[in-house]
């Protein structure tokens, strides 16, 4: 059954059902279950048994992992040349580090992918199908051959299917064929190849316009799209700018380490130091400078940020969107469903000339005309379709009454975004009537009269010719209603002659037919609809304003409606003049530069816009060097969503195509959730800066001992094993803790960062290396030499690493670095605060990290098994207590720096912790 019926495009509709063992009313649940068991789920996933092995091997191609492996190889070669110097032990240690680092990176990548897979499960694709004569929504994976798909604008097709009904059906097959031109589909049999047939919809395609029905004949890997699934699954996610910047930072640090190591190796050879001594030194410099745990911690921070965003109803489809959302300068928001509740309620049906409610009889006639121009589908106990169409159906009557009326429908013309109206032909009192509903300005040129006429004709009691004066009066009523923030829909109709009705029924023409019918229409009245502003939106907009983020409203509604909603939301002030609004007509006449000038001059509301104009607005904002977030829900919003730096689609009301094009999906369609996402994005970026600063600070106390060792006749304070115990031991959990810090209280009071504010900024390097790192290095070396001198060592004396005095001095030097990293960790938690004010219990990983550092600093001094492994020895408790003083010293000095810089910093976001 799921093997491709080669001749299905040749068949009539009834033959299609027979061929696929289906029926017009749809399959039963038993049949669906049997076909799922026999043919499998409708998914395109190809099992890849070697995927994780390839992922593990890829970790060894990392830039600094290759450097570590090369260093280990040099150690093994040195051991062969000069055995007995312990170079093989050092080589195994470095090799173990490379392996552990690769495993850690692999584990974090695995966690990140699992996190993204969990997020995708939040919003499975749903499709409408007819089963047992009822319209139901099912997961796309549950579609089987024989199912009847209900197609509407914005749908993404999930299986190959034969069209059996088409109403202006236009699809985009670009994901499959690469052809950008849309294809118009028909329901009639055709005599072309299957791939070229105009009555076939393919999986992966999307519906651009119109509606229809199609019978599924191929699912999953048996579809044309499924055959290409392995290609799409082999495409690797591209790195975000922040990830590339971090990788660049690691490469720079590694190059610096290599150059420093090689330079001092050559210097050691020139002054006559033994080869093995110079190799140990070179390895130490390299290992001290390579931030082994930084990149996997970075990936984990983004993954955890994406999960936290999901808890705030912001679903990210790629990790780069986490950081990108935090950098936006402008949010271009739709109105309906984003700023408003998308709970349309029909609050009035009014006379177009007076604005007063219509009497019951005329009200019913108007609703009948409006319903004729609507498309709704009946489920068990409710209606599916556009919110406006559903509201019209509910106002007309009960389910049975509406169903009876819809059975008399002869033709439907779907809503056209360019025309701003929809239309339909139905029977009223046995006579064919052509009805239209849409924006008044779209219907105005088509009107021949205003009021009601007997049987839909002309000459009724309330009928008036559509003179300029009459139309101006209607315009005034529309503007007054729209000025209150209401949505206004005009409804008009005209009776068709028998000849017109007959020709219309036989015609397969779409646009031209509708245009010929749209003449001498009679405007019956106005539908007044209210969609309340979400109560949390004004506060969210104010939060954006405080954060330096501008909110722009872009809508297809009436200018007065748009302005009223913008004022309620706080996008424009109550006192602002309406000069800050542009209509689509005005926008069409502006050049890109003129549009930029308008935006810079304060224009913040765009009304009666088209999707193409959304794209124009995005381009203008990006030309102004602003990071732009754009919301959208329709198929025609896809280009603007892709063009924006951050495309945000609606999860509840959005179309499949919009969700495919966006980087972020709002699960609740709420503007306030965007602001929560911006806050989380900023937090993720700041957390990355926090743990980067924390990790780099320990590089200086790791390098200083080697510089002293090569330049002066002094013992080496720290060996490679000690450096690795910090970088891949005690620093890992605190770094992860900093990556999971909650937002700071004033994170939304900072202006957006600019593209010039790099992650590895000069102020971060100075703070890490020349302030925090230098303080740690000097204090640890002070304690190192204090223990040496008290043990009898004097300047220039040779001291073996196994000497008890040297072991004790090494132990206290390492313990001092570990303890001072606690002060560094606490200070990094807050940009200007102490860090203690955030509460130690608020972040368990921070508390665990501190415990690890305290326990390990004690163990290397006083626990024999660790002493043996680390080559350390005990010191008097008074000396250990002195090492603890370093925590207070660093923490206090750092807090003093914050207080001073906090008074002078002009841009808080550039003052990293």
Domain boundaries, the chain: 8-42+118-234, 51-111, 316-341+533-676, 352-525, 698-742+757-910
Q: Which residues contact 226 (CB under 8 A, 6 or more apart)?
A: 44, 203, 220
Phi then psi dihedrals of residue 540, to 5 deg: -65, -40
- pLDDT score of 612: 81
Cβ-contact 819, 887 below 8 angstroms: yes
CA distance 309 to 303: 10
Write down the H helix ranges in 829-876: 844-862, 864-870
Of 791, 679, 695, the closest CA to residue 738 belongs to 695
- pLDDT score of 62: 65
CA distance 773 to 767: 8
- The fold of 352-525 is Calcium-transporting ATPase, cytoplasmic domain N (3.40.1110)
**Measured at the alpha carbon of residue 638, what is the angle toward residues 634 and 643, in degrees to the nearest 5?**
140
Phi then psi dihedrals of residue 826, to 5 deg: -65, -40
- pLDDT score of 659: 77
Q: What is the value of pTM for the model shown?
A: 0.72
Secondary-structure class of domain 8-42+118-234 per CATH: mainly beta
- pLDDT score of 820: 97
Q: Which residues contact 93 (CB under 8 A, 6 or more apart)?
A: 720, 721, 724
CA distance 689 to 704: 24
CA distance 625 to 474: 43
Instruction: Going from the first residue of the chain to its last (913 residues), give the mean pLDDT of each consecutive group of 10, the final group possibly shorter.
Output: 63 89 92 92 71 75 72 77 68 76 70 60 77 90 94 86 89 63 83 84 84 92 70 43 64 77 84 76 73 69 80 79 85 87 87 91 87 78 77 86 86 81 89 92 93 54 87 94 91 88 68 80 93 91 92 90 92 75 92 93 90 89 92 76 87 72 84 89 89 91 88 88 83 90 86 73 88 96 97 91 94 97 95 86 91 97 94 96 96 93 49 37
- pLDDT score of 907: 41
C-alpha distances in angstroms, 841 versus 142, 737, 744, 756, 850?
Answer: 46, 12, 16, 36, 12
Cβ-contact 517, 423 below 8 angstroms: yes
Of 526, 524, 522, the closest CA to residue 480 belongs to 526
- pLDDT score of 234: 40
CATH homologous superfamily of domain 698-742+757-910? Calcium-transporting ATPase, transmembrane domain (1.20.1110.10)
CA distance 222 to 228: 10
- pLDDT score of 668: 84
CATH tag for 316-341+533-676 (out of 3.30.300.30, 3.90.1150.170, 3.40.50.1000, 3.40.30.10): 3.40.50.1000
Cβ-contact 688, 739 below 8 angstroms: yes
C-alpha distances in angstroms, 564 versus 332, 339, 485, 572?
Answer: 17, 12, 5, 9
Q: State whether the Cα torsion 211-217-221-227 is positive or negative.
A: negative
CA distance 323 to 893: 31
Q: Which residues contact 853 (CB under 8 A, 6 or more apart)?
A: 730, 734, 818, 819, 821, 822
Q: Which residues contact 246 (CB under 8 A, 6 or more apart)?
A: 294, 295, 298, 688, 759
- For the chain, the maximum distance between any two Cα atoms, rounded to a whole number of angstroms, is 119
Cβ-contact 890, 772 below 8 angstroms: yes
């Amino acid at each position: 059954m799921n093997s491709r019926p080669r001749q299905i495009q040749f068949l009539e509709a009834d033959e299609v059902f027979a061929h696929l063992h289906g029926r017009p009313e749809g399959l039963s649940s038993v049949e669906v279950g049997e076909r799922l068991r026999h043919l499998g789920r409708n998914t395109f996933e190809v099992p890849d048994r070697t995927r994780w092995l390839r992922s593990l091997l890829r970790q060894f191609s990392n830039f600094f992992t290759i450097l570590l492996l090369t260093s280990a190889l040099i150690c093994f070669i040195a051991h062969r040349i000069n055995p007995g110097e312990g170079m093989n032990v050092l080589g195994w240690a470095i090799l173990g580090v490379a392996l552990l680092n690769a495993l850690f990176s692999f584990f974090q990548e695995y966690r990140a992918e699992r996190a993204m897979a969990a997020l995708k499960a939040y919003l499975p694709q749903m499709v409408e199908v007819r089963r047992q004569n009822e319209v139901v929504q099912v997961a796309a994976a549950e579609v089987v051959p024989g199912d009847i798909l209900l197609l509407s604008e914005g749908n993404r097709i999930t299986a190959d299917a034969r069209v059996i009904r088409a109403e202006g059906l236009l699809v985009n097959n670009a994901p499959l064929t690469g052809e950008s031109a849309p294809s118009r589909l028909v329901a009639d049999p055709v005599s072309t190849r299957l791939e070229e047939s105009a009555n076939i919809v393919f999986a992966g395609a999307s519906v651009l316009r119109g509606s229809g029905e199609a019978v599924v004949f191929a699912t999953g890997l048996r579809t044309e799209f499924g055959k290409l699934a392995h290609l799409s699954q082999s495409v690797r996610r591209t790195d975000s700018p922040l990830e590339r910047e971090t990788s660049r930072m690691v490469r720079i640090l590694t190059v610096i380490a290599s150059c420093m190591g090689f330079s001092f190796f050559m210097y050691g050879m020139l002054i006559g130091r033994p080869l093995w001594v110079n190799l140990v030194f070179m390895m130490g410099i390299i290992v001290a400078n390579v931030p082994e745990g930084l990149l996997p911690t970075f990936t984990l921070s983004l993954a955890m940020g994406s999960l936290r965003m999901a808890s705030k109803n912001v679903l990210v489809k790629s990790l780069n969107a986490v950081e990108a959302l935090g950098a936006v300068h402008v949010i271009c928001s739709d109105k309906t469903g984003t700023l408003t509740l998308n709970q349309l309620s029909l609050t009035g049906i009014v006379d177009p000339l007076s604005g007063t409610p219509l009497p019951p009889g005329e009200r019913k006639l108007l609703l009948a005309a409006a319903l004729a121009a609507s498309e709704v589908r009946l489920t068990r106990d409710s209606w599916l379709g556009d919110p406006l169409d559903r509201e019209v159906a509910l106002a007309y009557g009960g389910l049975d009454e509406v169903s009876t009326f819809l059975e008399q429908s002869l033709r439907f013309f779907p809503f056209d975004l360019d025309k701003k109206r929809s239309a339909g032909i139905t029977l009223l009192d046995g006579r064919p009537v052509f009805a239209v509903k849409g924006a008044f300005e779209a219907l105005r040129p088509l009107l021949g009269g205003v009021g009601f006429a007997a049987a839909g004709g002309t000459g009724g009691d309330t009928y008036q010719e559509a003179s300029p004066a009459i139309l101006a009066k209607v315009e005034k009523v529309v503007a007054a209603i729209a000025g209150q923030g209401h949505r206004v829909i005009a409804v008009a109709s005209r009776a068709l002659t028998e000849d017109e009705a007959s020709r219309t029924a036989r015609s397969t023409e779409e646009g031209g037919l509708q245009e010929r019918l749209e003449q001498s229409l009679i405007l019956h009245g106005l539908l007044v609809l209210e969609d309340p502003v979400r109560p949390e939106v004004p506060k969210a907009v104010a939060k954006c304003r405080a954060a330096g983020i501008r909110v722009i409203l872009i809508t297809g509604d009436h200018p007065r409606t748009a302005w009223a909603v913008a004022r309620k939301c706080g996008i424009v002030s109550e006192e602002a003049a309406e000069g800050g609004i542009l209509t689509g007509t005005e926008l069409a006449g502006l050049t890109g530069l003129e549009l930029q000038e308008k935006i810079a001059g304060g224009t913040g509301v765009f009304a009666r816009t088209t999707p193409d104009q959304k794209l124009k607005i995005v381009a203008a904002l990006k030309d102004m060097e602003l990071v732009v977030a754009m919301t959208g829900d329709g198929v025609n919003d896809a280009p603007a969503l892709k063009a924006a730096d951050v495309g945000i689609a609606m999860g509840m009301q959005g179309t499949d195509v919009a969700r495919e094009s966006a980087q972020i999906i709002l699960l609740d369609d709420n503007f306030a959730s965007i602001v929560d996402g911006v806050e989380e994005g900023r937090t993720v970026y700041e957390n990355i800066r926090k743990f980067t600063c924390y990790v780099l600070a320990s590089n200086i106390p790791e390098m200083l001992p080697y510089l002293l060792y090569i330049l002066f006749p002094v013992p080496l304070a720290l060996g490679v094993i000690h450096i690795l115990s910090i970088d891949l031991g005690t620093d890992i959990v605190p770094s992860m803790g900093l990556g999971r810090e909650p937002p700071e209280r004033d994170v939304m009071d900072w202006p957006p960062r600019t593209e010039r504010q790099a992650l590895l900024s000069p102020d971060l390097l100075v703070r890490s290396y020349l302030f925090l790192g230098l303080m740690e290095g000097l204090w640890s070396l002070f304690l190192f030499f204090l223990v040496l001198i008290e043990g009898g060592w004097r300047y220039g004396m040779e001291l073996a690493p196994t000497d008890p005095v040297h072991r004790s001095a090494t132990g206290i030097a390492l313990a001092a670095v570990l303890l001072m990293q606690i002060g560094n960790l606490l200070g990094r938690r807050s940009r200007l605060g102490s860090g203690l004010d955030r509460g130690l219990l608020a972040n368990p990983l921070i508390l665990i990290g501190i415990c690890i550092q305290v326990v390990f600093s004690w163990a290397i001094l006083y626990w024999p098994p660790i002493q043996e492994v680390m080559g350390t020895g005990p010191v008097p408790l008074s000396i250990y207590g002195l090492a603890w003083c370093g925590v207070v010293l660093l923490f206090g000095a750092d807090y003093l720096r914050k207080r001073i810089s906090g008074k002078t910093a002009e841009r808080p976001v550039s003052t990293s912790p």
